[in-house]
Structure 1
Amino acid sequence: MSIFKKRREEGFNLAFLDVMACGLGAVILILILVKFSANTDIPVEELNRLKQELAATTDVASELQKSLSTKQLELAAQSATLEEIQQRLQSLKINQDAVTQALKDELAVIADLETAIAAAGPLVADDPIEISGAGEETYLVGLKVQGRHIGILLDMSASMTDDTLIGVIKNKVGSDAQKQAASKWQRSLRILNWLLARLPNNAQVSVVAFNDTSVVLGKSINSQTSADDLNQIARQAAGLVPNEGTNLQQGLQTIASTMNNMTDLYLITDGLPTYVNPNSGFNENRSCRPVQGKQATITGECRANVFAHTMRANPISGVTTNIILLPLEGDPMAPGFYWSWADRTRGTFIAPAGTWP
């Protein structure tokens, strides 16, 4: 019995040793594997790639930060600009309110003046001759009649009947009564009367009407103090018939000989002259022969040459010349030449509105 028991104990001990040996081997193997894994290096290429990706990511983040800063600055600037615009709008609104109120005040003053003028009744002028017109409108033109010895030239050529060339041609073939009744000619007569009514106290005046010839109206020398003298001039002017061409040279010669001590000259016309006196020294050519009967039409350049010749042939020194230029189609150079003449003599040039006088 004792023998069998001993054998069982030996068998158990051998199996236990085998198990322990196996366990110890497994532990050693695990330790070897762990140590190998810990000492394994990361490949260099992979490390470089990761570093590059990190650098690129850092650059992108930096650019995004800069862009964000720029946007923040722009937003701040826009906010400041918007605030400035709002302030300017507010200031403009205040100014607009002030201007509106001032305009209302001015309109109220004008309304009061209109009421006072209407209540005062029509104005009565104390002029030596009667002229047509609406109250003081006949006075307000920017032209003042002045001087001690005054000459007045009235253009009575055919063009003084109408503003348009077609109208002038129609009136040329019309009757004398039709020419005299033409609206432009009637306006010219009102202008003459306006000048006569505005003569300075104790002034002397000579009036000459001219076309291709010239005629003295009234006396050679008329007095401002004599209403009869001035009314006689007005009556004779009303009987004139506007026709033919314009010879300014003839008119200047007549007014200079009629009043040889003339100080101021007033010319009522509508364009540059078309005629010169025969044998006056004008240099004629095939396209410009401005003597009556030599050519039926005249160019703008020829009219300019006629005007220049007239000024050279009839110099009037020391005389202040004032021009009243009425409108005429087809003579665009006239305003420039007449303005230059008036300016050179310290006179006045006006092209009045159609409602005057």
Structure 2
Amino acid sequence: MSIFKKRREDGFNLAFLDVMACGLGAVILILILVKFSANTDIPVEELEKLQQELNATQSQSDGLAQSLSQTEAELAAQSLSLEEAKTRLQQIQLEQQAVTRALKDELAVVADLESAIAAAGPLVADDPIEIQGAGEESYLVGLKVEGQRIGILLDMSASMSAESLIEVIKSKVGSDAQKRSGNKWQRTLRILSWMLARLPSNSEVSVVAYNDTSKVLGSAVSRQSSPEQLRQIVSQARELAPTQGTNLQQALQTMSSTMSNISNLYVITDGLPTYVNPDSGFRLSRSCSPIKGQQATITGECRVSAFAHSMRANPIPGVRTHVILLPLEGDPAAPALYWSWADGTRGTFIAPAGTWP
């Protein structure tokens, strides 16, 4: 009985030791596995990928830092420019204030001079005939009516009725009353009155109106000392109607026969002539026949030829010639030729503004 009990106790002890040994082995195995996992290296590919991402991030950071520095520099430059602009604006404002003060001072001086002029003399000039305007204010600087024996050629051709070619064409089919009321013709009459009102003391004047023919206005020779004779010239001029073409040669011929020993000639016109006298020696051609009734239209070159022929055929030597040109559209050579005529005689050439006189 005792032997059997002892064997049973020995079997229990062996089994316990086996279990403990197995457990210890399992613990050792776990420790080995944990140590192996802790010492395992990171794969090379993963390390390179991380390094590339780090480099890219660093480059991006450097780029952002550079962009930030550039932006700060631009802001600093703009701030400096803004300050310069403010300084310049203040300087301009100071200059403007100084100019405004100077202008006010000049205006005050002008006002004082005007007051002095008004107090010193009459507002109306002592002219032999009455004209529109406030007296001396109607005088044109640069043009002076001078000489003892004065001739005035007044162009009364159709183009003198209006400023533009369209209006000239319209006026050609209108009545004489419409032609007389044209703005350019009314201005021409004012210019004639202006000149007659400013004749030198004790001078003589002859006025010849011309288109394709010519006509002496008033007395053949009128005197500055006779206001009635000058008013007669103005009255007859107002009855004229601007029509037909322009024959400067005929006008010069009439003026030469009307007033001998003329000293100064004044020409009021708007362009070059369109006609010459028949049988006056002009060399006619198919393209240029400036004889009334022979050519419906005329070119600019032909008008130049007609002007040159008029100067050669009927010269007035030794006479100072002054030209008042009211330019006509489509006649570009007129200013140069009339200026050359006036300059060659030591005369005056003007193309006044539309507001004069």
TM-score of the pair, normalised by structure 1: 0.70
- Per the alignment, residue 238 of structure 1 pairs with 235
Question: Does 1:166 pair with 2:170?
Answer: yes
Provide the C-alpha distance between the structure 1 equivalents of 2:150 and 2:115, rounded to a whole number of angstroms: 41
Question: Does 1:275 pair with 2:275?
Answer: yes
Aligned partner of residue 170 in structure 1, secondary structure: coil
Q: Which moved more, 1:54-63 or 1:266-275?
A: 266-275
Question: Cα distance 1:160–1:189, how it changes in 2: closer, same or farther (>3 A)?
Answer: farther
Aligned-residue RMSD, C-alpha: 4.7
Provide the C-alpha distance between the structure 2 equivalents of 1:318 and 1:72, rounded to a whole number of angstroms: 82
Question: Cα distance 1:232–1:38, how it changes in 2: closer, same or farther (>3 A)?
Answer: same
Contact 1:288 1:298 in 2 (8 A): yes
Question: Does 1:142 pair with 2:128?
Answer: no
Q: Which moved more, 1:231-240 or 1:82-91?
A: 231-240
CA-to-aligned-CA distance 1:199-256 (integer Å, 9 cap, x gap): 4567665544433135486456x77xx614x753553463355355421112223445
| Shift in Å, 1:159 | 2.8
Mapping of 1:43-82 within 5 angstroms?
Answer: 43-82=43-82
Question: Cα distance 1:90–1:185, how it changes in 2: closer, same or farther (>3 A)?
Answer: closer
Aligned partner of residue 322 in structure 1, secondary structure: strand
Mapping of 1:201-220 within 5 angstroms?
Answer: 207-211=207-211, 212-213=213-214, 215=216, 218=219
Question: Cα distance 1:169–1:36, how it changes in 2: closer, same or farther (>3 A)?
Answer: closer
Q: Which moved more, 1:192-201 or 1:27-36?
A: 27-36
- Per the alignment, residue 10 of structure 2 pairs with none
- Matched to 1:238, the amino acid is S
Q: Which moved more, 1:45-54 or 1:324-333?
A: 324-333
- Matched to 1:247, the amino acid is N
Contact 1:123 1:135 in 2 (8 A): yes
Contact 2:273 2:307 in 1 (8 A): yes
Mapping of 1:95-110 within 5 angstroms?
Answer: 95-105=95-105
Question: Cα distance 1:318–1:118, how it changes in 2: closer, same or farther (>3 A)?
Answer: closer
- Per the alignment, residue 154 of structure 2 pairs with 155
Question: Cα distance 1:272–1:138, how it changes in 2: closer, same or farther (>3 A)?
Answer: farther
**Between the two proteins, what is the percent identity of the paired residues?**
59
| Shift in Å, 1:73 | 1.5
Provide the C-alpha distance between the structure 2 equivalents of 1:284 and 1:108, rounded to a whole number of angstroms: 65
Question: Cα distance 1:33–1:45, how it changes in 2: closer, same or farther (>3 A)?
Answer: same
Provide the C-alpha distance between the structure 1 equivalents of 2:59 and 2:183, rounded to a whole number of angstroms: 90
Contact 1:249 1:310 in 2 (8 A): yes
| Shift in Å, 1:258 | 5.9
| Shift in Å, 1:268 | 1.4
Provide the C-alpha distance between the structure 2 equivalents of 1:303 and 1:353, rounded to a whole number of angstroms: 25
Mapping of 1:244-255 within 5 angstroms?
Answer: 244-255=244-255
Mapping of 1:79-98 within 5 angstroms?
Answer: 79-98=79-98
Provide the C-alpha distance between the structure 2 equivalents of 1:279 and 1:161, rounded to a whole number of angstroms: 27
Structure 2: runs of 5 or more not aligned = 1-12, 163-167
Provide the C-alpha distance between the structure 1 equivalents of 2:262 and 2:256, rounded to a whole number of angstroms: 7
Aligned partner of residue 134 in structure 1, secondary structure: coil
| Shift in Å, 1:118 | 6.3
Contact 1:208 1:251 in 2 (8 A): yes
Contact 1:162 1:328 in 2 (8 A): no
Q: Paired residues, what number?
A: 345
- Per the alignment, residue 195 of structure 1 pairs with 195
Contact 1:323 1:349 in 2 (8 A): yes
Question: Cα distance 1:17–1:106, how it changes in 2: closer, same or farther (>3 A)?
Answer: same
Contact 1:159 1:328 in 2 (8 A): no
TM-score of the pair, normalised by structure 2: 0.70
Structure 1: runs of 5 or more not aligned = 1-12
Provide the C-alpha distance between the structure 1 equivalents of 2:28 and 2:59, rounded to a whole number of angstroms: 49
- Per the alignment, residue 9 of structure 1 pairs with none
| Shift in Å, 1:327 | 6.3
| Shift in Å, 1:55 | 1.5
Question: Cα distance 1:47–1:295, how it changes in 2: closer, same or farther (>3 A)?
Answer: closer
